[in-house]
Structure 1
Amino acid sequence: MIWFLLLAVLFAFIMGIFQVPIWIMYGILIVVFLFFMLRNPLLFGKDADKMMAYLRKSKAPHLQFLYHSFNKDLSTAEQALGKIRSKKSRQTSEVMLLMERKQYGKAKELLMKMAGHKTKWYALADIAINEGDVEALKQNKKKIKDAFFLKMLDVDQAVYAGKMDEAVGLLDTMIPTLRGYKLLAAVQYRKQILEGRL
């Protein structure tokens, strides 16, 4: 993304030198921006295999972390975690890692330090499911407005109850309507359930 912004500034500077009308300049910048957004399969992609290949090839530490986390290679994911510069991304990734390792107490401590947003409430609700805390689940679920996260909590509850077929069925109904990162997360979760890696 930084390269895109640098190229946009350079492009705007060159067009300014040649005194190109502003509406043409904005039009070209919008087209270039849309081109870069559509090239990133994590935003609007509908092919989970292409998204995983994109993550595998990516040099960005956060995307490397996601790739290794999806593949349950937690030691390599932890190495990538140490390279993430963004505080928010690092905290979110650390929570994911702690939850994968079932270290729910540490994950809750870290979540309490984070600002309130849907991923925080989803993680706290998921921890409540795994700890059997019905009251905490209700409280955190009320704060979630995103339909995807609410449906994923239903899947998590089915997995926790040992109803793997029901969980896979819920994911099968969700997957055709999803795009980008949400699609990838649902497909990988389904794969982990079917392979018994939970």
Structure 2
Amino acid sequence: MVWFLLVVFVIALVMGFFQVPIWIMYGVFAVMIIFIFIRNPLVFGKDPEKIMAYIKKSKAPHLQFLYHFLQGDLSAAENTLGKILMKKAKQGSELMLLMERKEYGKAKELLANMSGHKTKWYALSDIAIQEVDSESLKEYRGKLNDRFLLKMLEVDQAVFEGKKREAVVLLENMIPTLRGYKLLTAVQARKQILEGKI
């Protein structure tokens, strides 16, 4: 990321020196940003192995947390949690740990301090599934409009009801249409179901 910013600075300096029209400068920067997004496997990646390799090599604490979490090494993930500086990323990571450990009371306390975001409504819906609270599930699910998270709730519901084969079929139908982080999430969920971890 530092190299990218340095390159942007140098290009801006050169274009400023040659007094390039502003619309060309904006065009160049737009192309550079699109290029960076396309090359980032967490956004558009189609290969779960490459995405995991990218996360493993990353120095960003929230991505290190994500790698350990997806590998099932919760103690290493918890150690990495203290290094995450961004408040929203830290809350999301802490929530993931609490949900994985089925500490729903603590998760609800954390969620009470979070703003109304799709992650909050998904987590509260998942807790309602685990606590067999159909009224809360209906309320929180109604606040979700993210198709991926709604499908993941269907998967969670199927797993909770013991319909693991149905959950795997749902995931396998989703996987070909997903990219980046969503793809990785679905692949890891399928792997955990097949290995009997959830």
TM-score with structure 1 setting the length: 0.95
Residue 139 (structure 2) aligns with: 139
What SS is found at the alignment partner of 2:43?
helix
Give the superposition deviation at 1:7: 3.7
Residue 53 (structure 2) aligns with: 53
Give the superposition deviation at 1:2: 5.8
Residue 174 (structure 1) aligns with: 174
Residue 152 (structure 2) aligns with: 152
Question: Aligned partners of 2:147 and 2:193: how far apart in 1?
Answer: 21
TM-score with structure 2 setting the length: 0.95
Residue 31 (structure 2) aligns with: 31
More displaced, 14-23 or 107-116?
14-23
Give the superposition deviation at 1:14: 2.9
- Structure 1 runs (4+) deviating above 3 angstroms are 1-7
Question: Aligned partners of 2:160 and 2:58: how far apart in 1?
Answer: 33
Structure 2 residue 112 is matched with structure 1 residue 106: no
Question: Aligned partners of 2:11 and 2:114: how far apart in 1?
Answer: 38
One-letter amino acid matched to 1:136: S
Residue 126 (structure 2) aligns with: 126
Question: Aligned partners of 1:117 and 1:3: how far apart in 2?
Answer: 33
What SS is found at the alignment partner of 1:196?
coil
Question: Aligned partners of 2:118 and 2:10: how far apart in 1?
Answer: 37
What SS is found at the alignment partner of 2:197?
coil
Gapped runs of 5+ residues in structure 1? none
One-letter amino acid matched to 1:193: I
One-letter amino acid matched to 1:188: Q
Structure 2 residue 84 is matched with structure 1 residue 84: yes
Residue 186 (structure 2) aligns with: 186
Give the superposition deviation at 1:4: 3.4
Deviations 1:21-64 (A, max 9, x none): 22322222122111111111010111111101111111100011
Residue 75 (structure 2) aligns with: 75
The Cα RMSD (Å) is 1.3
Percent identity over the alignment is: 67
Give the superposition deviation at 1:6: 4.9
Question: Aligned partners of 1:195 and 1:7: how far apart in 2?
Answer: 45
Deviations 1:155-194 (A, max 9, x none): 0000011111000000011111111111110011000100
More displaced, 186-195 or 23-32?
23-32
